[in-house]
């Protein structure tokens, strides 16, 4: 992901980033085991991939954290619509031997694309500032 961001910044291609983490994911792993958690992660990946294009990037950056990079898509209204569609899909129960709901998204707009990279480099806490 770092190389992809560097390439976008170097080529001055506009982009937007979303940070997403799953609610209650630790509880799923602790209660139902890592196989259940892996299943949920695959279901989440399908949702994220369904809302992105081939030139976009979806990256898992932690246990239950994802970053999405949208290339040449910076309109905050359109990005908010995408985020809402993803939230709606993620709120649908995932059927294992039980139902669970998870997910929320942080949409951050920073004036300088380079500061996005610095935010990612410092970890997800920097994204919430």
Task: State the DSSP code for 1.
Answer: -
Question: What mean pLDDT is predicted for residues 4-14?
Answer: 91
Residues 116, 9: Cα–Cα separation, whole Å:
10
CA 60/CA 64 separation, integer angstroms: 7
Average pLDDT over the chain, rounded to whole? 80
Buried b / exposed e along 80-118 (16+ C-beta atoms within 10 A): eebbeebeebbeeebebeeebebbebebeeeeebeebbe
pLDDT at 129 (0 to 100): 36
CB 99 within 8 A of CB 92: no
Confidence of residue 114 (pLDDT cuts 50, 70, 90): low
Instruction: Supply φ then ψ for residue 49, to 5 degrees.
Output: -65, -30
State the pLDDT at residue 1. Answer: 79
> Mean pLDDT across the stretch 17-25?
89
Q: How far apart are CA 40 and CA 50, in angstroms?
A: 15
Q: Among 16-20, 58-62, 73-77, 118-122, name the one with the lowest average pLDDT.
A: 118-122
**pLDDT of 73 higher than 90:** yes
Give me the pLDDT at residue 92, please.
87
pLDDT tens for residues 28-37?
A: 888 888 888 8
Domains of the chain (ranges; CATH) run 2-109 (3.30.70.270)
């Amino acid at each position: 992901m770092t190389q992809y961001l560097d390439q976008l910044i170097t080529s001055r291609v506009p982009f937007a980033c979303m940070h997403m983490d799953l609610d209650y994911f630790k509880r799923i792993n602790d209660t139902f085991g890592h196989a259940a958690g892996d299943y949920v992660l695959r279901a989440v990946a399908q949702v994220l991939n369904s809302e992105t294009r081939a030139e976009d990037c979806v990256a898992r950056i932690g246990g239950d954290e994802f970053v999405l990079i949208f290339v040449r898509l910076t309109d905050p209204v359109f990005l908010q619509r995408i985020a809402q569609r993803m939230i709606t899909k993620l709120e649908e129960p995932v059927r294992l031997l039980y139902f669970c709901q998870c997910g929320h998204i942080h949409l951050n707009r920073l004036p300088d694309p380079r500061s996005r990279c610095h935010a990612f480099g410092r970890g997800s806490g920097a994204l919430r500032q």
